[in-house]
Structures are given as structure tokens and as C-alpha cells.
Amino acid sequence: MIERIRPNVPQGSALELTDISKRFRTSWGKRVEVLTHVGFNVAQGTVYGLLGPNGAGKSTTLKIVLGLMKPSGGEGRVLGEPLGSVAARQRIGFLPENPYFYDYLSAREFLDTCASLTGLPRQNRRARIDTTLERVGLDPGAGLRLRKYSKGMLQRIGLAQAILHDPDLLILDEPMSGLDPIGRRQVRDLILDLKREGKTILFSSHILSDVEALCERVGILVKGELRREGRVADLLGESEHRYEIETRNLPATLIRQWKEKGWIRESGDRILLTVQDPEDLGERVQQVLRSGATLLAVKPVHRSLEDVFLHHAETGPPSTSMGPFVGREAA
């Protein structure tokens, strides 16, 4: 294990970003702002998800944390150290988006190079590399060069190099990208294992179900602005209850009447009636039954992270509202 001096980290915070802005100059000299006053904290030992459409500024934010880019404005600290400092990077593991590694090396050679770069003692390296390869689901005995690896295998090697030196903070840019469903499950389990070990994980993803399953907090970045930030549970509005009544053979008069109010949508031969107020649920069920329609189901539904994400990604200005309710069946 590496001897490390752990500085005083601000109470509970692994990462603090305040008012981070980033401007680029295009080749025509025009200034483009890709991040505008982005600020959020990631508490130690938690999993934080950074969401956003392509070009939202997720990777730029992560690169600023790592010192691969300098912010044009704002400040931050990571693990109690300045952003991008060598001391901070000693305790960070990073998986870039669409990772591409030295393809003339075998997995073991590549990880050995990474181990040298992070100061892992030579005597521990072999065992550590074997354990890490097994942990990400790769065969430690295979001597294949990385150029023969599939995209999914490269993603696993990327994860292996990120966790090899037992970092306190993991920054993963699209860690599920290129993985099949089994691989995604394994990575999800790995992230949860790492969290149980007390690691802090900051990751960006397009796969919202994974974010919803893994993260305590998320930030939604759109066009360089942090449109929404908070606990996943708060964003999903746990206290809000909506219900859906599923029917068949509903009379045309009722369909017309409820359609005008925007309460129903059709799905094949089924009619789905959304009831916003729980107080009205009994009355609507009675109406359906009285009309002679077939009642198929009455189900509670909740907002998905995808609903929240799409709302913020598709609407313009930053908002604190939860956005329109688009129901999804409860699990």
C-alpha cells in the first residue's frame, strides 16, 4: 500500500466547485463559453452523477477537476487540494470517455506502467494487478495486446487503471459506454462495492437508469449551465403521487371529454387515464366502471430521472421546478 499523507479535507467534502466558468476561443477568435458558473459539492463516500446531453460540458468539468484544463473563472478544491494538483491526482482515479490506451501493450504491461506512474511499490505490483484485473472481469493470464481488445474490454481496462492505486476519488466519464448488459451490471456492482469501501465516485453518464440506481445526488448540465442539482430522491419528487388507470372499451364520450382535459393517452387498444389528485382516484374508477369499460389496472406512477433530465435538457432557462409530470410505471 502507498504511504500517503492525508491533508485536512473540508468536513465531508471530496470535491467543491464554486462558480466554475470555462471559455474557449474558436479558430476565428470568437469566444465561446462552455461552462457558466458551475458549482456543486460531492460529499465523501457518495456517488455523484453528472448528467447532460452531448456538448453540455460534463467532460470539460471533469477535466478541470483533473487539471487537464484550467477554469476561466471560479475556484475549487479536490480532496482538500487545489484542482489538478499532483497531490490531488495521487488520490484520484480517472476513466476518460471512449478510452484508448497504448495498444502495443498487453493489459499487464499497461497496468504496470500505470502502477509506476502512481508510485505503487514494485513488490506489490504483480499481486495488485492480478486482483484488479479479476475485479473488472478480465483474465490476468491473458497476454493479448490491447489492440486486440473489444470496446467493452478496453472499458474494463480503463476501470482497472483507474482503481489500481486504490484512489479515494474516482472520476468516471461515461463508465458504462460500450458495455453489454452484463458488463453494465458488473460495473454497477463495482461502483457500489467501491462506495461500500468508502470511495467517492463522480461519474457522467447518458444511461439514466444507472445514474438513478447508483447516485445519491445528481447535477444536470445543459449548455454549460447547471440546470438542476440535488438529491436524486428530491429530484424525483418522492412525495408526489400520481396514479394511472388502465382501461379498455371506454365509451367515446368519456374519451373525448377526458382527452380535452389532457388526462388520457392511448396505447394500442388500451386507454391510460392519469389522475393527478389522489382524492379523485375513487371517483374516476367509479366512472370507468359505470361506463361499462373494462378496468385493467390501477397503478401508482412516479417520475423517472429521465423525465427530469428531458425536462431540463429540452427547456430553456434554469429552473428550480420539477417540470411537467410525465408518468412512468412504478417498479
Partner 1 sequence: MRTLAIARNTFREARRDRAQWVFLLYAAIVVGGGIALSPLAMGEGYRVTRDLGLAAMSLIGMMLIVMVGSGMVQKEIDRATILTVLAKPLRRGEFLIGKYLGLLAMVGLVFLGMTALLALVLFMREGRIDPAVLWAAGFTFGEFVVLTAVVVAFSTFVSPILSGVFTVAVFVMGHFSGDLLRFASKVEGTLLAWVARAAYMTLPHMEVFNLRGEAAGSILPAPDMVLASGAYGLLYALSVVLIASAIFSVREFR
Q: List residues binding partner 1 (CB under 8 A).
A: 24, 60, 63, 66-70, 86-87, 89-90, 92, 94, 96, 98-102, 104-105, 109, 113-114, 116-119, 158, 161, 171
Q: At residue 254, what is the residue type?
A: L
Taking the complex as a whole, the smallest distance from the CB of residue 60 to partner 1 amounts, in Å, to 8
All three cell numbers of 280: 379523485
Taking the complex as a whole, the smallest distance from the CB of residue 227 to partner 1 amounts, in Å, to 23
**Smaller CB distance to partner 1: residue 69 or 176?**
69
How far apart CA 38 and CA 233 sit, in angstroms, is 22
Taking the complex as a whole, the smallest distance from the CB of residue 214 to partner 1 amounts, in Å, to 22
Taking the complex as a whole, the smallest distance from the CB of residue 61 to partner 1 amounts, in Å, to 13
Taking the complex as a whole, the smallest distance from the CB of residue 166 to partner 1 amounts, in Å, to 13
B/e letters for 17-55, b = 16+ CB within 10 Å, e = fewer, are beebbbeeeeeeeeeebbbbebebbbebbbbbbbbbbee
* Cα dihedral 235, 238, 242, 243 sign: positive
Taking the complex as a whole, the smallest distance from the CB of residue 44 to partner 1 amounts, in Å, to 20
**Smaller CB distance to partner 1: residue 120 or 232?**
120
- DSSP character for 262? T
**Smaller CB distance to partner 1: residue 105 or 207?**
105
Taking the complex as a whole, the smallest distance from the CB of residue 225 to partner 1 amounts, in Å, to 19
Taking the complex as a whole, the smallest distance from the CB of residue 41 to partner 1 amounts, in Å, to 21
Instruction: Cite the DSSP H helix spans in 119-249.
Output: 122-135, 151-163, 181-196, 208-214, 232-236
**Smaller CB distance to partner 1: residue 158 or 327?**
158
**Smaller CB distance to partner 1: residue 194 or 235?**
194
16 exposure class (CB count in 10 Å sphere: 0-12, 13-18, 19+): middle
All three cell numbers of 86: 499532483
In sequence order, the 6+-apart residues with CB closer than 8 A to the CB of 218 are 48, 49, 50, 51, 211, 228, 229, 230, 232, 235, 305
Are the C-beta atoms of 107 and 142 separated by less than 8 Å?
yes
**Smaller CB distance to partner 1: residue 2 or 233?**
2
In sequence order, the 6+-apart residues with CB closer than 8 A to the CB of 3 are none
**Smaller CB distance to partner 1: residue 161 or 247?**
161
**Smaller CB distance to partner 1: residue 114 or 208?**
114
Are the C-beta atoms of 264 and 272 separated by less than 8 Å?
yes
**Smaller CB distance to partner 1: residue 24 or 197?**
24
Are the C-beta atoms of 251 and 293 separated by less than 8 Å?
yes
How far apart CA 120 and CA 56 sit, in angstroms, is 36
In this structure, the number of other CB atoms found within 10 A of the CB of residue 302 comes to 17
Taking the complex as a whole, the smallest distance from the CB of residue 45 to partner 1 amounts, in Å, to 21
Q: What angle do CA 89, 93, 95 make, to 5 degrees?
A: 120
